[in-house]
Chains A and B, each alone.
Chain A
Amino acid sequence: MIKHEHLSLKYMRREVLPTAFCPGCYNGIVMNALFQAFEELGIYDLRKYVFVSGIGCSSWIPSPYIKADSLHTLHGRAIPVATGVKLANPELEVIVIGGDGDLASIGGNHLLHAARRNMDLVVIMINNLVYGMTRGQAAPTTPKGMVTPTTPYGNPEEPMDVARLIANTNANYVARWCVSQYLFLKNSFKKVLGEIKRGFRFIEVYAPCTTFVIRRENKTPGQKLKELMNTCIGYEKWEKLPAEERTKHIPTGVFREEDKPGFLDNYKQLIARLKR
């Protein structure tokens, strides 16, 4: 009998599998949604795409796992390198994949300004609430009160809401989905790969680290996934909740969606004007 294969595998480098991710790490689910989006758009050849990442577990997704050209750069510096790739060869579609630490902490300023410039990039940020690769230290996204190796008595700080922050810039597209909202996530990927093809497109995926967040809660990754199906709600619904209820839920949805000219369009226009 012919063995059937997972659709993601045709986009992955088989020779390096299984991945180095912990058993039950949600990074692999984000990959499934991304590859399903490519497949549903009829995109099988990724030669037109370049994937750029920094440092962290999630930054391993492009290299070595995606069967496409990739640049594994310095911690926090994926966006500036991706900007360089895009400006050097605007024909390429440039996709950044990284963690909350990489993109919102050490790389936070790059993120903010690439969004302000409406730079022609797709940025996928996997928010696992911690610095997973270095064993789960608190990040700027760690919820208040959470115990981590660097916050042994509970995190005294308030986390930043990265998607809503970027939604207040000039970015063309901003969405956040929990990893449990698989079809919404996949459809957001389709939107920024197939429909809105310019400007800054930011997708945050709320996906707690299996080893350093979920295990601390004495839960299995399967239990947590089912829990997230109730925790994650649309932001319009979330906004109507009383304050004490809000902290128990994650507001998700599409915060911003436009198709205005991106950095490159505006730059080309400037050159045309100066040539006249």
Chain B
Amino acid sequence: MGKTYVVDVNGLLCKGCGICSEICPRKALVMDSVNPATGYPNPKLVGECIGCKLCMWFCPDQAIVVVEKR
């Protein structure tokens, strides 16, 4: 069985820089509509996440987390 992952976004920390969606090797993240609380768009998981954690490491605002689903 392949592993599956949860991707959580903290919409209040995210500044919509797009690094996560551009760095994702699976192109699994897209920048969604603007979050009214901050005025910035937040990423949304639309594809399959392989758990590489690049988005989490390279998010400058500690706004995206990847954890293995159990």
Interface residues, chain A, with chain B CB atoms under 8 Å away: 3-6, 8-9, 12, 17-19, 21, 23-29, 31-33, 36, 182, 210, 220-223, 225-226
Contacts and interface: CB of A to CB of B under 8 A. Distances in A.
B22 A223 contact: yes
A9 B62 contact: yes
A24 B57 contact: no
Contacts of A29: 57-60
B8 interface: yes
Contacts of B6: 4
B19 A222 contact: yes
Given A28-B62, A32-B62, A182 B57 contact: yes
Contact of B59 (A6, A33, A220): A6
B63 to A, nearest CB: 7
Interface in B13-49: 13, 15-23, 40
Contacts of B23: 222, 225-226
Nearest to B38: A18
A27 B58 contact: no
Contact of B21 (A4, A27, A222): A222
B19 A221 contact: yes
Contacts of B65: 4-6
Contacts of A220: 17-19, 22
Given A182-B58, A222-B19, 16 more contacts: A4-B67, A6-B63, A8-B62, A17-B13, A17-B62, A18-B15, A18-B61, A23-B16, A28-B62, A29-B60, A31-B62, A32-B60, A33-B57, A210-B17, A220-B19, A222-B20
Contacts of B20: 222
A210 B18 CA distance: 12
Counting chain A CB atoms within 10 Å of each CB, the highest count among B13, B16, B20 belongs to B13
A28 B60 contact: yes
B8 A4 contact: yes
Nearest to B19: A222
Nearest to A186: B57
8 contacts: A3-B8, A3-B10, A6-B56, A6-B59, A19-B61, A21-B60, A24-B60, A210-B17
Contact of A18 (B13, B18, B58): B13
Contacts of B57: 29, 32-33, 36, 182
Contacts of B56: 6, 32
